[in-house]
Amino acid sequence: MIVDTFGRPLKSLRLSVTDRCNLRCKYCMPEDTYAWLPRETLLTFEEMTTLTGLFTELGVDKVRLTGGEPLLRRDLPTLIKLLRRNTSLTELALTTNGVLMEAEAEAFYDAGLHRVTVSLDTLKPDRFKALTKRDTLEQVLNGIEAVLRVGFKGLKLDTVVIRGYNDDELVDLIEYGKRVEAEVRFIEYMDVGGATDWSLNQVCSRAEMLDRLGRRYGRIEPVREESSAPAQRFLLPDGTTFGIIPSTTTPFCSTCDRSRLTADGMWYLCLYAKEGIDLRQPLRAGASREEIKTLIRSGWEARRDRGAEERKAFERVGTREAQLIDIDRLRQDPHLEMHARGG
């Protein structure tokens, strides 16, 4: 096992399979068009599998497929099968917007995918359209049903809560989660690349969410558990659990064991990192497995990232909004976008 400068192990990898997306969520891809990663630079499934194998030799045991929208990458079951041959992987999961899930769920299940998270910010069709610029809520809900129908257990529904957009739907989403037997997780709105019109007053904090839910449900208890997962879990009086990911108000950088590989093989050690380590270039130049592992090991051992905590420090001096990466810089380097590095 390797650890970084703060003693954090290298454990979980988010593997982005495409930077493209069929939605335009206001908090992630607010523009209509983007500079896409050139196709010839995208890693093949074999290259992704090779790199993942090197990561698992260095301690990674959980991989999450993400994007952009991962279902836009054709033939994903083939990648799932290749990755599942790696016995060091104890968890292979997928995060999706759910739009294309209905037709794919069975093939993913059969290929050996362990778990699915579907992003779901609203249950109102008009609002979904306003938030994502697409009128596809019905497909998402059908996708969620398909995930459950084909046999996946432990489905999670992730909601980015934004004041003035969907902060009045917390109860409705919990009730929907109860109906379909999925755990809802509320994510605080983050000031990451892509969220170019983020402002602090749009962030609905964990404290505020708990207060609203408490008024409806009564006493809410924290679930006590040992976990490096970012979600803090809570219990309602009727036994329903839900999660809150308080990345903005209560960063969890001190235990962060995750890194991100973009679809073109750039490795980022933090969601907020401005620079990554190019793994595609040495891989395609014929570097040995040991040479690439040395690159990964030395990158992780030098890691000092704690992006969300640093943003918090800027907040204390009133300059957090000024840290957002402006749109021109995002256009010059699409890797800085949230949809390139996988959320």
Nearest approach in angstroms of CB 5 to ligand SAM is 26
16 forms beta bridges with: 66
80 forms beta bridges with: none
Nearest approach in angstroms of CB 24 to ligand SAM is 11
Q: Give the separation between CA 23 and CA 277, rounded to whole angstroms.
A: 28
Nearest approach in angstroms of CB 100 to ligand SAM is 11
**CB-nearer residue toward ligand SF4: 251 or 334:** 251
Instruction: Scan residues 99-118 and list those touching ligand SAM (CB under 6 A).
Output: none
Nearest approach in angstroms of CB 241 to ligand SAM is 19
Q: Beta-carbon neighbour count of residue 269 at 10 Å?
A: 22
**CB-nearer residue toward ligand SAM: 158 or 305:** 158
Nearest approach in angstroms of CB 342 to ligand SAM is 6
Among ligand SF4, ligand SAM, none, partner that 43 touches (CB below 5 to 8 angstroms by kind) = none
**CB-nearer residue toward ligand SAM: 27 or 267:** 27
| Nearest alpha-carbon partner for 179 in 140, 148, 215, 212 | 148
Closest residue by beta carbon to ligand SAM: 343
Query: Would you tell me which residues interact with ligand SF4 (CB under 6 A)?
Result: 21, 23-25, 28-29, 67-69, 97, 119, 251-253, 256, 270-272, 305-308, 339
Nearest approach in angstroms of CB 26 to ligand SF4 is 9
239 conformational bin, left if phi > 0, alpha if psi -120 to 50, beta if neither: left
| Nearest alpha-carbon partner for 266 in 282, 256, 280 | 280
182 forms part of the interface with ligand SAM (CB under 6 A):
no
Among ligand SF4, ligand SAM, none, partner that 342 touches (CB below 5 to 8 angstroms by kind) = ligand SAM
Q: Are 65 and 45 in contact (CB under 8 A)?
A: no
Q: Give the separation between CA 54 and CA 299, rounded to whole angstroms.
A: 14
Q: Residue 58: what residue type?
A: L
**CB-nearer residue toward ligand SF4: 10 or 48:** 10
3-state SS, residue 297: helix
At what angle are helices 137-149 and 101-111 packed, to 10 degrees? 30
Among ligand SAM, ligand SF4, none, partner that 308 touches (CB below 5 to 8 angstroms by kind) = ligand SF4
Among 131, 146, 277, 338, binds ligand SAM (CB under 6 A): 338
Q: Are 239 and 181 in contact (CB under 8 A)?
A: no
Q: Give the separation between CA 267 and CA 277, rounded to whole angstroms.
A: 5
| Cα 259 versus chain centre, distance | 11
| Interacting residues with ligand SAM (CB under 6 A) | 21, 27-28, 66-67, 69, 95-97, 119, 158, 160, 187, 189-190, 192, 194-195, 338-339, 342-343
